[in-house]
């Protein structure tokens, strides 16, 4: 059985592995702000992935029936409304699930 120290060490290293470096051309930050951002990125990555996955599931539950209902109508704007629904679903479900630093 692992000791508590070992479990905490594994969790800290797992959170630290989620950290990303700042992209090239990013605005200058003070050292304290950069350190705070690194901590927030490392600890916030699992939360960001969880929230993004939840938003994807909720969006799917809303968009699929809406698109099906719009397909049954003869509205002139239905193609645009369906395209907007699909675009929102794409924004919520695709892309990076990691928290990127600014």
The domain spans of the chain are 4-93
pTM for the full predicted model: 0.62
82 Cβ contact partners less than 8 Å away, ≥ 6 residues apart: 67, 70, 71
Nearest C-alpha neighbor of 34 from the set 47, 16, 22, 19: 22
Question: Cα–Cα–Cα angle for 35, 41, 44, nearest 5°?
Answer: 130
pLDDT at 100: 78
Query: The tokens of 25 are what?
Result: 């051309």
Model pLDDT for residues 11-39, shown as the tens digit of each residue: 666 655 555 566 677 778 888 988 888 88
């Amino acid at each position: 059985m692992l000791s508590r120290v070992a479990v905490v060490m594994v969790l800290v290293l797992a959170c630290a592995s989620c950290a990303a470096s700042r992209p090239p051309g990013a605005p200058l930050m003070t050292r304290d702000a950069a350190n705070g951002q690194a901590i927030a990125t490392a600890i916030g990555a699992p939360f960001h992935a969880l929230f993004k996955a939840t938003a994807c599931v909720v969006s799917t539950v809303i968009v699929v029936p809406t698109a099906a209902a719009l397909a049954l109508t003869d509205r002139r704007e239905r193609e645009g409304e369906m395209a907007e629904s699909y675009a929102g679903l794409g924004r919520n479900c695709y892309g990076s699930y990691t928290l990127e630093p600014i």
